[in-house]
Amino acid sequence: MNNKQWEQEVWLSAVRYGLGRRTYITGCISDFMIANVDEMTEKTKSVMHRDISECDDLGDNCDKENWDNLLSKLK
């Protein structure tokens, strides 16, 4: 894999790590992803959107809000 592909994999891993957590990390991850959405491939955006949309437990209301903000930017 090249550096761009590794970067996309790390970003997907970060989102998957943060899903369902109830800590400050959900805000850090979602804010970072929103700031870098223009650098994401369409595949990365699609996988992130799917992973977040299909998650059964997004955490507390503040965590859900973070994920909802990211979802709106991924569309």
- Over residues 5-39, the pLDDT tens digits come to 999 999 999 999 999 999 999 999 999 999 999 99
- Dist. CA 71–CA 75, nearest whole Å: 7
**Beta carbons of 39 and 3 less than 8 angstroms apart:** no
Going from the C-alpha of 32 to that of each of 1, 19, 43, 56, the distances in angstroms are: 23, 14, 18, 23
For residue 47, the 8-state DSSP code is: H
Domain count, the chain: 1
**Beta carbons of 33 and 11 less than 8 angstroms apart:** yes
**pLDDT confidence band for 3 (50 / 70 / 90):** very high
Q: What is the pLDDT of residue 16?
A: 98
Range of the domain at 41: 3-74
